Amino acid sequence: MSEYVSKPVDKQGFVDWSREEDQIWHDLVSRQLSLVNERACKEYLRGLELLNLPVKRVPQLPEINHILQRETGWKVEPVPALINFDRFFALLAEKKFPVATFLRSREEFDYLQEPDFFHEIFGHCAMLTNPEFARFTETYGKLGRDADSKERVYLARLYWFTVEFGLVREGQGFKIYGGGILSSPGETLYALDDERPVREEFDIQTVLRTPYRIDIMQPAYFFLNDIEHLYQLSQENLMTHVHQAMKAGLLPPLFESKEKTHA
Confirm whether 78 is domain-assigned: yes
The CATH number covering residue 89 comes to 1.10.800.10
Confirm whether 6 is domain-assigned: no
Distance, CA of 57 to CA of 107 (rounded, Å) = 19
- What φ, ψ does residue 60 adopt, rounded to 5°? -100, 150
Distance, CA of 192 to CA of 260 (rounded, Å) = 27
Confirm whether 160 is domain-assigned: yes
Distance, CA of 90 to CA of 141 (rounded, Å) = 6
CB-CB contact of 123 with 27 (8 Å): no
Distance, CA of 234 to CA of 162 (rounded, Å) = 12
Give 221's strand partners.
199
Neighbouring C-beta atoms of residue 222, cutoff 10 Å:
24
Q: Flag whether pLDDT at 250 surpasses 90.
A: yes
Q: Fill in the amino acid letter for 207.
A: V
Q: What is the percentage of the chain residues whose pLDDT exceeds 70?
A: 97
What is the average pLDDT across 127-155?
98
Confirm whether 123 is domain-assigned: yes
Domain count across the chain: 1
Torsion, Cα of 234, 145, 66, 101 (10° steps): -130
Q: At what angle do helices 19-39 and 42-51 cross, to 10 degrees?
A: 150
CB-CB contact of 219 with 254 (8 Å): yes
Distance, CA of 203 to CA of 222 (rounded, Å) = 8
pLDDT classification of 261: cutoffs 50, 70, 90: very low
- What φ, ψ does residue 223 adopt, rounded to 5°? -110, 140
How high is the pLDDT of residue 174?
98
Confirm whether 7 is domain-assigned: no
195-207 confidence digits (pLDDT tens):
999 999 999 999 9
CB proximity list for 190: less than 8 A, separation 6 or greater: 196, 197, 217
Provide the residue range defining the domain that includes 102.
19-252
pLDDT classification of 220: cutoffs 50, 70, 90: very high
What is the average pLDDT across 111-123?
92
Q: Flag whether pLDDT at 73 surpasses 50.
A: yes
What is the average pLDDT across 183-208?
97
Distance, CA of 200 to CA of 212 (rounded, Å) = 15
pLDDT classification of 260: cutoffs 50, 70, 90: very low
Confirm whether 260 is domain-assigned: no
| Reported pTM | 0.94
Distance, CA of 96 to CA of 168 (rounded, Å) = 24
Confirm whether 162 is domain-assigned: yes
How high is the pLDDT of residue 111?
79
Burial of residue 177 (number of CB atoms within 10 Å: 0-12, 13-18, 19+): buried
CB-CB contact of 163 with 124 (8 Å): yes
178: nearest Cα among 122, 239, 131: 122
Confirm whether 114 is domain-assigned: yes
84-96 confidence digits (pLDDT tens):
999 999 999 999 9
